[in-house]
């Protein structure tokens, strides 16, 4: 009994992770930007094996795209560069779908305004995705991205 | 206790815990066939609006076999099953069978109505919410399909895309049984097996 309780306790973190998020985003490295210049942050994203998420440009209007948005802050958000999506065929779809799988990077571009106050800060981002596997789909979810920065 | 022994105990506990956690009775069953009558629990009642604004209650369907489908417009596997369900509705509605679709789209009718109209869905569709999903064990994977017998009890749960013949086989078995065959009335209570299923 004690063993089972211990095991359940030990097992929970991985089951929790599996049950709640199908995509994880690593905390990006600190972004250093000089006032009046642009800078870009790399965000490493990982999709659970056997799952996919729709790309930023899904194959159909009803599909929910991968989208990164930022809460207004010191830095001005610019373009988000996504990798080239994969076109994959699934059992449930007649046509290949534009998806991301596995590990990939997003590049988020920012501008530090000329009048930005110097010093450290954090930009808060939300990465919204909708995941499926071969026979099920899962409601859209959001992961938070915290980007530390230093304005010089 | 030596370090290797502690390690062995932890490993055994880990494996045992994982096995217990994932034991089939603790979560919705990916049923290959119908549950025996004695193992069925009452399907929780709900009151949701359909596209015409009319309230749909599961309890209104007492005495019928019901296929309750949780789905969403963004769900590819759901779209494979929906034409099957339309076919079941056509074939079996005169035998006391109904399909009820509960959409879990965050955008509600804005997303669902155009889809329902495009496809010409011939059964009642409602927009669900978190509390409906919670009543049914916290629906996470879509589609999730419940087959409910004439007594209002859950006879089968299919999580994910399932074969058409498997679902239809279950419907046909349930249609052969009159109400009362699974014992007790379809009173409304939360099935214990779905509590904390996720």
- Coil vs helix vs strand at B63: coil
Structure tokens at A36: 């009046």
Instruction: Tell me: do B2 and B92 sit in the same domain.
Output: no
Q: In this complex, do B140 and A139 lie within 8 Å of one another by their Cβ atoms?
A: yes
Let me know if residue A6 belongs to a domain: no
pTM beyond cutoff 0.80: no
Question: Is the ipTM, as predicted for this complex, more than 0.90?
Answer: no
Query: Worst-scoring range by mean pLDDT, A89-93, A99-103, A126-130, A135-139?
Result: A89-93
pLDDT at B33: 78
Let me know if residue A94 belongs to a domain: yes
Let me know if residue A84 belongs to a domain: yes
Top pLDDT among A14 and B143 is at: B143
Neighbouring C-beta atoms of residue A14, cutoff 10 Å? 11
pLDDT at B48: 96
Instruction: Tell me: do B65 and B157 sit in the same domain.
Output: yes
Minimum distance, in Å, between the CA of residue A46 and any CA atom of chain B: 20
Can you give the residue range of the structural domain that contains B7? 1-26
Question: Rounded CA gap, A131 and A133, in Å?
Answer: 7
| Domain CATH code at residue B133 | 3.40.30.10
Closest of B148, B171, B182 to residue B45, by C-alpha: B148
Instruction: Tell me: do B59 and B152 sit in the same domain.
Output: yes
Measured in residues, chain A has a length of 152
List the single residue in A4, A63, A93 with the smallest CB-CB distance to B74: A63
Q: In this complex, do A90 and B76 lie within 8 Å of one another by their Cβ atoms?
A: yes
- Coil vs helix vs strand at B24: helix
pLDDT at A51: 96
Residues of B within 8 A of A64 (CB-CB) are 74
Can you give the residue range of the structural domain that contains A147? 23-151
Average pLDDT on A37-54 reads: 97
pLDDT at B186: 39
- Tally of domains in chain B: 2
Let me know if residue B35 belongs to a domain: yes
pLDDT at B39: 92
Chain-centre distance of CA B85, in angstroms?
Answer: 13
Closest of A137, A147, A13 to residue A71, by C-alpha: A147
* Probe site for chain B from A1, A58, A136 (most B CB atoms < 10 A): A136
Let me know if residue A32 belongs to a domain: yes
Cβ neighbours of residue B192 under 8 Å, at least 6 residues apart? B41
Whole-number average pLDDT of chain A? 89
User: What are the two backbone dihedrals, phi and then psi, of residue B75, each rounded to the nearest 5 degrees?
Assistant: -100, 105
Instruction: Tell me: do B15 and B50 sit in the same domain.
Output: no
Average pLDDT on A119-127 reads: 97
Nearest CA in chain A to B16: A4
Neighbouring C-beta atoms of residue A144, cutoff 10 Å? 11
Let me know if residue B198 belongs to a domain: no
Let me know if residue B197 belongs to a domain: no
Per-residue pLDDT of chain B (198 residues; tens, 9 = 90+): 555 565 555 545 444 444 443 333 334 444 447 999 999 999 999 999 999 999 999 999 999 999 999 999 999 999 999 999 999 999 999 999 999 999 999 999 999 999 999 999 999 999 999 999 999 999 989 999 999 999 999 999 999 999 999 999 999 999 998 877 665 443 333 343 333 333
Let me know if residue B139 belongs to a domain: yes
Instruction: Tell me: do B113 and B42 sit in the same domain.
Output: yes
Residue A14 has pLDDT above 80, yes or no: no
* Probe site for chain A from B16, B76, B110 (most A CB atoms < 10 A): B76
Residue A94: pLDDT band with limits 50, 70, 90: confident
Instruction: Tell me: do B120 and B134 sit in the same domain.
Output: yes
Q: In this complex, do A11 and B104 lie within 8 Å of one another by their Cβ atoms?
A: no
Average pLDDT on A100-125 reads: 97
**HSE (side-chain half, CA atoms, 13 Å) at A151:** 21
Let me know if residue B44 belongs to a domain: yes
Q: Which residues of B4-37 are buried (b: 16+ CB within 10 A; e: fewer)?
A: eeeeeeeeebbebbbeeeeeeeebbbebeebbee
Q: In this complex, do A8 and B140 lie within 8 Å of one another by their Cβ atoms?
A: no
- Tally of domains in chain A: 1
Burial of A12 (C-beta count, 10 Å sphere; 0-12/13-18/19+): middle
Instruction: Tell me: do B175 and B138 sit in the same domain.
Output: yes
Instruction: Tell me: do B76 and B128 sit in the same domain.
Output: yes
Which helix (H) or strand (E) segment is B92 a member of? helix B76-92
Residue A88 has pLDDT above 90, yes or no: yes
Instruction: Tell me: do B75 and B145 sit in the same domain.
Output: yes
Using a CB–CB cutoff of 8 Å, tell me whether A38 touches chain B. Answer: no
Cβ neighbours of residue B107 under 8 Å, at least 6 residues apart? none
Chain-centre distance of CA B111, in angstroms?
Answer: 22
Instruction: Tell me: do B43 and B15 sit in the same domain.
Output: no
Question: Rounded CA gap, A76 and A73, in Å?
Answer: 7
Q: What is the DSSP string of chain A?
A: -HHHHHHHHHHHHHHHHHHH-SEEEPPPPPEEE-TT-EEEEEEEEEE-TT-EEE-SS-SSTTSPPPEEEE---SSEEEEEEPPPPEEE--TT-SS-EEEE-SEEEEEEEEE--TTPPSEEEEEEEEEEE-EE-SS-B---EEEEEEEEEEE-
pLDDT at B183: 55
Residue whose structure tokens are 């994203």:
A45
Instruction: Tell me: do B96 and B165 sit in the same domain.
Output: yes
Neighbouring C-beta atoms of residue A130, cutoff 10 Å? 24
Using a CB–CB cutoff of 8 Å, tell me whether A130 touches chain B. Answer: yes
Residue A9 has pLDDT above 50, yes or no: no
Instruction: Tell me: do B172 and B75 sit in the same domain.
Output: yes
List the single residue in A7, A9, A130 with the smallest CB-CB distance to B74: A130
């Amino acid at each position: 009994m004690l063993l089972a309780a211990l095991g359940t306790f030990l097992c929970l973190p991985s089951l929790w992770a599996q049950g709640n998020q199908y995509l994880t985003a690593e905390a990006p490295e600190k972004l250093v930007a000089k006032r009046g210049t642009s800078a870009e942050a790399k965000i490493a994203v990982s999709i659970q094996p056997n799952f996919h998420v729709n790309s930023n440009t899904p194959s159909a209007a009803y599909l929910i795209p991968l989208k990164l948005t930022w809460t207004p802050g010191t830095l001005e958000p610019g373009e988000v560069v996504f990798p080239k999506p994969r076109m994959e065929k699934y059992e449930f779809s007649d046509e290949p779908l534009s998806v991301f799988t596995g590990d990939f990077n997003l590049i988020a571009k920012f501008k530090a305004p000329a009048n930005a106050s110097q010093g450290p800060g954090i930009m808060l981002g939300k990465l919204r995705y909708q995941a499926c596997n071969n026979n099920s789909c899962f409601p859209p979810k959001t992961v938070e991205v915290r980007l530390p920065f230093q304005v010089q | 206790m030596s370090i290797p022994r502690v390690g062995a105990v932890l490993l055994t506990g880990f494996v045992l815990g994982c096995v217990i956690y994932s034991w089939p009775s603790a979560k919705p069953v990916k049923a290959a066939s119908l549950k025996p009558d004695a193992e069925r629990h009452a399907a929780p009642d709900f009151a949701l609006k359909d596209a015409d604004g009319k309230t749909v209650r599961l309890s209104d369907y007492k005495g019928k076999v019901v296929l309750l489908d949780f789905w969403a417009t963004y769900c590819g596997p759901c779209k494979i099953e929906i034409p099957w369900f339309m076919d079941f509705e056509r074939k079996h509605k005169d035998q006391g069978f109904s399909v009820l679709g509960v959409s879990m789209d965050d955008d509600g009718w804005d997303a669902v109505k155009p889809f329902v109209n495009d496809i010409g869905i011939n059964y009642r569709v409602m927009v669900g919410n978190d509390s409906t999903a919670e009543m049914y064990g916290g629906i996470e994977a879509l589609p999730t399909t419940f087959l409910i017998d004439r007594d209002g009890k859950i006879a089968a749960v299919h999580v994910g895309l399932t074969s058409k013949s498997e679902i239809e086989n279950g419907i046909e078995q349930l249609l052969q049984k009159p109400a009362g065959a699974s014992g007790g009335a379809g009173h409304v209570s939360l099935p214990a097996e779905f509590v904390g299923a996720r």
